[in-house]
Structure formats: structure tokens, C-alpha cells
Amino acid sequence: MLIGHLPAGYIISRLLIRYAEPTEVSAKAFILAGVIGAVAPDLDMFYFHLVDHRQHHHHTYFTHYPVVWLVLLTASSAWLFTASKKNYAACASIFSLNGFVHMILDTIVGDIWWFAPWGSEPFAFFTVPALYKPWWLNFLLHWSFAIEIAVVVWAIYLWRKARHHKITVTATNAPTVP
């Protein structure tokens, strides 16, 4: 997935904020934690370029092991259910959830080693044929890119809706001039 991770993280966090509200987490902190979690696995691109010198597919690093995100999600959910002060646990949970969703989204057209570190078989729902150069042009011209555009459009829609709601609430609460 090229451009969809960040907006997908925003959508999931925005849709789940109502369930997190009882934890007294601020919407801003919750959504920020969610968006960071959605892109966190791809921070391994720094390692890929600067340390590994593009020797291995970055999906083979532990940052793209689904089990890592599943363990984080389980641990943060346990923390969320048991903690008396839940706002930090809510942020950790949405961070981990979006990290795990990143694995699913990367599986659409990119190989993910779902059973790593035990299995060595990558999985992808669809294969993008290597027809063009540079490599990203193949993804850009593949039908699956329409999913990414749809995710971006959905995120913009939710963002505008939330912004409009905030403006309306602020205007309603503003003191009226006598």
C-alpha cells in the first residue's frame, strides 16, 4: 500500500473514538496515536535504505511480522480492560490495532510473511505484475490503487465532517451578543 496507511489509520481511529471517550482520552491524542500506529511499521524503510542497503524486502523485518502487532494488541487490550486510568491504554490499543491493520492492508498486493518468524512463506491477495519502471508505477497503475484512493476520499470526508461538527459546536456555545 502506497498512500492508504495514514488515511486508513485516521478512519479507524475516528470511527472508534466514541468507544474510547469513556476512558477520558482526548480525541486528538487518540487519533494521533492511531495515525502513528498506522504508519509505524513502515518506519523500517529507514533501516532498509540506510543500514540494510536494500538487501532484504522490508516486509521481512520484525516490524512487519503480524505476530508482533498481535502481541502488542493483546497486551494493550489487557491493559485497557484492567487499568483504572485508561487513557494511555486507549492510545496504546489504537496504536497497536492500526499497526495490525497495516499488516492486512499490506497483504492486499504486497507480500507479508504471516507466520514469521516461524514460517518462510509470504502471502498476498493479489500480485501486481512488474510491467513498468520505477517499481511504484506498477502499483499506481494497478486496479488496487483505486482502493487507496477510496480510502483517502473516505478519510477526507470524515475529517471535513468532524471539522464542520467542531465549528458548529463552537458557534453554538459562543456567547450571543445582546
Pick the closer one to Zn ion by CB: 29 or 152: 152
Counting residues that bind Zn ion (by CB under 5 A) gives: 3
Question: Binding mask 66-105 vs Zn ion (x if CB under 5 A, - otherwise)?
Answer: ----------------------------------------
CA-to-CA distance for 103 and 107, rounded, in angstroms?
6
Pick the closer one to Zn ion by CB: 106 or 148: 106
Touching Zn ion, residues 29-48 (CB under 5 A): 41-42
Q: What cell was used for 85?
A: 486510568
How far apart are CB 42 and Zn ion at their closest, in Å? 5
Mind spelling out the 3-state secondary structure of 59-87? HHCHHHCHHHHHHHHHHHHHHHHHCCCCH
Q: What cell was used for 69?
A: 502487532
Pick the closer one to Zn ion by CB: 45 or 169: 45
Our finding on whether 148 is near Zn ion (CB under 5 A) is: no
Pick the closer one to Zn ion by CB: 17 or 69: 69
CA-to-CA distance for 123 and 84, rounded, in angstroms?
40
Work out the angle between the directed axes of helices 87-109 and 66-82 (0-180°, nearest 10).
160
Q: What cell was used for 139?
A: 502499483
Touching Zn ion, residues 102-141 (CB under 5 A): 106
Binding site for Zn ion (CB under 5 A): 41-42, 106
